[in-house]
Amino acid sequence: MLDKIFNVFSRREKPVAKSETISLPIEFRNRVVMLLRDELQSSFATCLSTLYNKLAYLHGKFELNETRSHGEASDDVLNFMLSCKDEHFLDVIELVFNSEIQGVSWPDNRMIPAINDFFKIDNLPYHLTPYVMEEYETSFHGTPTTGMRLTQYPQVIRKDSEVLHESALKPALHILRGKEFSSANSEFLCALEDQRSGDYRDCLTKCGSAFESTMKVLCKDNSIQYKETDTASALLKSLLQNSQLDSYWEQPLILIATLRNRLSSSHGAGTQSKNVSPHVAAYVVNATAAAIVFLAGEFS
């Protein structure tokens, strides 16, 4: 229970300079509260009670608002949501979807696109990711079958550039929602988390892994021979040889793996320290997203 409480936006996100922040307007907060009220209806009170308990643990407080004088917990959490720091309100959004609240269905929940619409209305640089599911093998009364399980709860991520988000990052996340891309999706989401938390070398490692996992899926889906031990270079060559793409595409696409090999935490630093700057990590994240969209479009 507690692990999900503390894996929230404010504890993952690396603080940004004040000049780069955009405050959440009260209208945005109001819309989210109204959405919860209208969608959950009779379960809204239960939702507030659950959020109160989660937030009390998260902040280590019996009362979320200093001015509260032993009133209702629902009033306390509502007042907190409308007056807390921006990052803590984004925590609340995530907790709604990872707390198994009655009425919050998954994997398809219409509150997720609604909240993303609210972000757009107020030009806020955030995006709420969907639930991620994966298929697994099981048995029913001795008969082999498959099932679906949840592997990733919705998370709020920063959009560093609206153009890049709409043209590369968002389409890549949509593609990776496919059950066959579950490994690549987990790796890419970890890369985004590493980027936000400032672990730029590990971000490059995860980007390279997501790129390789995506290429393996594309090879498998298109009956292109490959080995699980193939490097990114070998996988890319196999894909290009079985496509209409010219060979010159290899150089820009393989750069993702090259930067991973040269700069990431997947290889020892040796005698020289390997420092990865934020803008290099941002480039690799966006290049990986663009490569996934490009190759998936070519081999779909």
Q: Is the per-residue pLDDT at 35 higher than 80?
A: yes
Could you tell me the pLDDT band of residue 194, with boundaries at 50, 70 and 90?
A: confident
* 248-260 average pLDDT score: 92
Q: Global pTM? A: 0.65
DSSP 269: -
CA gap 219, 212 in Å, rounded: 11
Q: Is the per-residue pLDDT at 274 higher than 90?
A: no
CA distances, 247 to each of 3, 10, 218, 292 (Å): 47, 44, 18, 18
User: Considering the chain, what is the average pLDDT of its residues?
Assistant: 86
pLDDT for position 94: 94
Q: Is the per-residue pLDDT at 167 higher than 60?
A: no
- Listed range (3-17, 77-91, 220-234) with the worst mean pLDDT: 3-17
Q: Which CATH class is domain 160-300?
A: mainly alpha
- Listed range (2-6, 38-42, 66-70, 197-201) with the worst mean pLDDT: 66-70
Task: For residue 107, say if its preceding peptide bond is cis, omega within 30 degrees of 0.
Answer: yes
Give pLDDT tens digits for 72-100.
888 999 999 999 999 999 999 999 998 88
* 102-113 average pLDDT score: 87
Q: Is the per-residue pLDDT at 55 higher than 80?
A: yes
What percentage of the chain carries pLDDT values higher than 90?
Answer: 51
pLDDT for position 13: 66
pLDDT for position 69: 57
Confirm if 211 and 232 have CB atoms less than 8 A apart.
yes
CA gap 40, 172 in Å, rounded: 30
Give pLDDT tens digits for 211-220.
999 999 999 9
Domain ranges of the chain: 1-128, 160-300
Q: Which residue has the higher pLDDT, 252 or 6?
A: 252
Residues 6+ apart with CB under 8 A from 143: none
pLDDT for position 165: 55
- Listed range (9-13, 109-113, 143-147) with the worst mean pLDDT: 9-13
pLDDT for position 216: 96
